[in-house]
Amino acid sequence: MNIIVLGAPGAGKGTQASIIAQKLELKKFSTGDMLRAEVASGSELGNKVQNIMNSGELVSDEIMIGVIVEQISSLDDSKGFILDGFPRTIAQAVNLDKILEEKECKVDCVLAFDVDFDVLVERLAGRIYCKDCGTTFHEVFSPPKQGGICDNCGSVNLVRRDDDKREVVTARLNKYLEMTEPLINYYQDKKNLIIVNGDNDVAKVTQEILKKIELINA
Ligand code: AMP
């Protein structure tokens, strides 16, 4: 099964993508994580995209399609994949369909996270993550059990993303509305869209997703 998670920054799509990938044994691709790794490594691509990411803008379709082609062509005969953060524009979605068609597969379902915008701003402003294993926390809603220490790997490297600063958050949300939200209609027309209520807590959202996926598989 091949799944796309779609939603505004802070909607919880990254968290749910990791959980669902584990439960359904899917390969997870997160374009945001990939780009952050490129920036951290100081690669040519990383240097090219760093300022774009820090300002809340989108990296060009050309670069992103190149990144995703490479990832998808590396797929073996595993059970499928879950894409977090791609596509983010209609051009990316159209290209993804083409790439998958060449591999004789398709997007089976798109999980669109519906979350109130005020909630998103609050979530992003308090978000911290572990630089070593990627686990995400929230300073107020889901802090690490022991202050400053990652529950998952014990690292003390808990940091805030550069693009989670308040002024950048607004730019990212506006970019989402302008460039990414139209994908909801794109996938609705293809009849593989599932709307998920992302306002609930993590476990409830996972339950809702698994139930809805079961229904389309039935
Ligand atoms: P994310 O972790 O998904 O919020 O992505 C962080 C940043 O990476 C975004 O704000 C964009 O600058 C860039 N990015 C990630 N995925 C894409 C994409 N599919 N298209 C364009 N830019 C992207």
Which ligand 1 atom is the nearest neighbour of the CA of 88?
19
The alpha carbon of 142 and the centre of ligand 1 are apart by a number of angstroms equal to: 24
The alpha carbon of 217 and the centre of ligand 1 are apart by a number of angstroms equal to: 30
| DSSP designation for 176 | I
What pTM does this model have? 0.90
Structure tokens at 201: 């807590």
Strands (E), 109-204: 109-114, 127-130, 136-138, 158-159, 193-197
Percent of the chain with pLDDT over 70: 99
Strands (E), 86-217: 109-114, 127-130, 136-138, 158-159, 193-197
For ligand 1, pick from 5, 30, 35 the residue to mutate: most ligand atoms within 8 Å of CB.
35
Tens of pLDDT along 145-186?
Answer: 998 999 999 999 999 988 888 889 989 999 999 999 999 999
Tens of pLDDT along 4-20?
Answer: 999 999 999 999 999 99
Burial degree of 101 (CB within 10 A; 0-12, 13-18, 19+): exposed
Q: Strand, helix or coil at 80?
A: coil
**Residue 58 beta carbon below 6 angstroms from any ligand 1 atom:** yes
Mean pLDDT over 92-108 rounds to 93
Mean pLDDT over 108-120 rounds to 93
Nearest CA to ligand 1 atom 5: 32
| Bridge partners, residue 84, by sequence | 5, 30
Tens of pLDDT along 160-170?
Answer: 988 888 889 98
**Residue 86 beta carbon below 6 angstroms from any ligand 1 atom:** yes
**Residue 18 beta carbon below 6 angstroms from any ligand 1 atom:** no
> Cα–Cα distance between 163 and 146 in angstroms, integer?
25
Has residue 79 got a pLDDT over 80?
no
The alpha carbon of 9 and the centre of ligand 1 are apart by a number of angstroms equal to: 9
Average pLDDT, whole number, for the chain? 92
Q: Which residue has the tokens 């630089």?
A: 131
